[in-house]
Each structure stands twice: as structure tokens, then as C-alpha cells.
């Protein structure tokens, strides 16, 4: 008697997690823009306050007040930016974990990395340059129409969208900040202008990467929701 394999686990809803992840990603991108563009303007205003001769009776106090305001303002901004980034990262990882669980149900071909590397893959030095991308690649290959076509998921055709997102993310997060810091150190220019333009140059690929990351989230979510609706015999929204 021929034995049939057990039916795959039903796919879990993913759309709500995608909406949260994309929204948090957009908030983090907006925070980055405010951080880069508003920071030098605030510093310039505070510098003019400390140099102004209008309050001669307290002019010795102005530099101290300026330093205090700048320190407190910068500290609050750093904490605010860190929290928004953390929320965006957590929202993305929660979405990716749910998408990975669904993707495993869509193919009998094993994925290349264990689930624990969905988180640790971003933290571990050196390997965090490729493990997260490969995890997303495997989820993409499993979720697309037709699923995994071969016996090894790593040999599947990879998405140009994921490649573009990943290259831009590496540029904005690692390559350009490192190269810029080395150049500033080499020429001995640690002025606020140099730091500002370095932040601007790294902001551009970071924002582009955020846009493409949102598209990756939505594309995978749409594919999995379509497969889930088909399995349930209903029309997708």
C-alpha cells in the first residue's frame, strides 16, 4: 500500500506582521533623516548662542549652558533614534521568523540555516555579511509561485530585488561609514562639516535600502498570503 506524506502545516497569517514591520521601517528611516539634517542646524544655533555678546552679565555662563543643552539634547536624540531602530529591527525579525516558518511548510527542501540564525546571523561578526541575505533568499525561493524547483535551495535563482537591498544595506551600514571614518582620520578633519557630509553620503544608500527592504517584505507576504488563500480555497484580498 502506498503511503502518502502527511499534509504540510497550514500557513499562518503574515499580513499584519508585514504592516507593522514596514511601518516601523518607515519610522526608522524618517528618524534617520531628522537625525542627519536637524543635528547640524541645532549645533549651529547653540554655537551662535554661546558666541553672542547680547547678555554680557551672564556671558561666562552661556558656554556652560550651551554645553548642557547640547549634551542633553544629543542624549535624548540618541536614545530616541536607538529605540526607533530597535523597534524596527524587532518588527522585521518577528516578520521574518513567521515568514520562515511558513516557508518551511511550502517546500520539503531544507533551508540552509537554523532558525536561531534569524537573529544571531545579524550579530555574529563577518558571517553577518551574508547569512541574513541567504535566509531571506531561502524564504523568497520557497514562497514564490512554483516554490523550490531543485533539490538544493541554495542553487535557486536569486532575486535581483533582494540583491539590490542587501548591497545598499551593506554600503549604508558598513562600507561607507568605515571608509568615511578612515578618510576623516587620514586627513585630520574631524569637523562637524566633515561628519555631516559623511552622514549624508551614508544616509542615501540606507534610505534606498529601507525602501527595497519594504518591497521585499511586501512581495514575500503577498506570495505567502496568496498560497495560504489558495490552500484554504478562498480568494485573496
Residue 193: the pLDDT is: 60
CA distance 102 to 181: 41
Residue 53: the pLDDT is: 46
CA distance 17 to 6: 28
In this prediction the pTM is 0.80
Residue 234: the pLDDT is: 56
Can you spell out the DSSP letters for 66-112?
A: HHHHHHHHHHHHHHHHHHHHHHHHHHHHHHHHHHHHHHHHH-SSPPS
Residue 94: the pLDDT is: 97
Residue 8: the pLDDT is: 61
CA distance 30 to 24: 10
| Apex 213 CA angle, 35 and 89, nearest 5 | 60
Which runs of consecutive H residues, i.e. helices, occur in the chain?
Answer: 15-51, 62-106, 117-120, 131-143, 160-170, 176-187, 192-232
Q: What is the dihedral of CA 133, 166, 26, 85, to 10 degrees?
A: 70
Q: What is the dihedral of CA 54, 56, 60, 66, to 10 degrees?
A: -20
Find how far residue 68's CA is from the centre of its chain. 32
Residue 26: the pLDDT is: 95
Q: Is 124 helix (H, G, I), strand (E, B) or coil?
A: coil
CA distance 82 to 79: 5
What nine digits make up the cell of 161? 530585488
Residue 182: the pLDDT is: 79
Contact 136, 96 (CB under 8 A): yes
Contact 181, 190 (CB under 8 A): no
Q: What is the dihedral of CA 209, 162, 171, 193, to 10 degrees?
A: -10
pLDDT tens over the chain, length 237 residues: 334 344 467 889 999 999 999 999 999 999 888 877 775 544 544 454 444 444 444 444 445 444 444 555 555 667 778 899 999 999 999 999 999 999 999 999 999 999 999 999 999 999 999 999 999 999 999 999 888 888 899 888 889 999 999 999 999 999 888 887 777 777 665 555 666 777 788 889 999 999 999 999 999 999 999 988 887 665 444
Amino acid at each position: 500500500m502506498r503511503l502518502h506524506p502527511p499534509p504540510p502545516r497550514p500557513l499562518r497569517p503574515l499580513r499584519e506582521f508585514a504592516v507593522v514591520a514596514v511601518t516601523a521601517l518607515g519610522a526608522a528611516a524618517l528618524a534617520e533623516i531628522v537625525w542627519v539634517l536637524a543635528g547640524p542646524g541645532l549645533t549651529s544655533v547653540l554655537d551662535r548662542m554661546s558666541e553672542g555678546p547680547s547678555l554680557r552679565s551672564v556671558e561666562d555662563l552661556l558656554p556652560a549652558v550651551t554645553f548642557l543643552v547640547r549634551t542633553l539634547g544629543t542624549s535624548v536624540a540618541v536614545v530616541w533614534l536607538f529605540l526607533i531602530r530597535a523597534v524596527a529591527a524587532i518588527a522585521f525579525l518577528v516578520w521574518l521568523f513567521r515568514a520562515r516558518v511558513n516557508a518551511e511548510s511550502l517546500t520539503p527542501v531544507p533551508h540552509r540555516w537554523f532558525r536561531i540564525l534569524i537573529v544571531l546571523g545579524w550579530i555574529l561578526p563577518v558571517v553577518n555579511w551574508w547569512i541574513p541575505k541567504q535566509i531571506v533568499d531561502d524564504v523568497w525561493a520557497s514562497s514564490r509561485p512554483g516554490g523550490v524547483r531543485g533539490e538544493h535551495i541554495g542553487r535557486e535563482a536569486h532575486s535581483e530585488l533582494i540583491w539590490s537591498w542587501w548591497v545598499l544595506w551593506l554600503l549604508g551600514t558598513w562600507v561607507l561609514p568605515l571608509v568615511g571614518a578612515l578618510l576623516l582620520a587620514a586627513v585630520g578633519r574631524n569637523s562637524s562639516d566633515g561628519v555631516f557630509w559623511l552622514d549624508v553620503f551614508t544616509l542615501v544608500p540606507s534610505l534606498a535600502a529601507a525602501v527595497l527592504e519594504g518591497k521585499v517584505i511586501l512581495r514575500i507576504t503577498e506570495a505567502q498570503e496568496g498560497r495560504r488563500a489558495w490552500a484554504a480555497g478562498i480568494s485573496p484580498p
